[in-house]
Amino acid sequence: MSKHNSLKSASTVGGKRSVLKRFERVKLMKERGQWKQGRSPIGLPKTKHEA
């Protein structure tokens, strides 16, 4: 019996993610100068990776 394509390999899981985690968004916003000190990390805008 063969495996379904979605279950075959874990190596395909490590692909490019389109959504960043909260700590990654805060770090990226700090690098871009968009982060204000004391701001709540809840409800951050979506950000994309640098290409």
Q: Cite the DSSP H helix spans in the chain.
A: 22-32
Residue 21 binned pLDDT confidence (cut-offs 50, 70, 90): confident
Q: What is the pTM of this model?
A: 0.58
What φ, ψ does residue 11 adopt, rounded to 5°? Answer: -70, -25
20 vs 38: CA distance, rounded Å: 21
Ranges of each domain in the chain: 18-51
Query: Which one has a higher pLDDT value, 26 or 10?
Result: 26
Q: If you average pLDDT over residues 12-30, what whole number do you get?
A: 79
Is residue 19 a contact partner of residue 46, using CB atoms and an 8 Å limit?
yes
**In this structure, what token pair is assigned to residue 36?**
């204000």
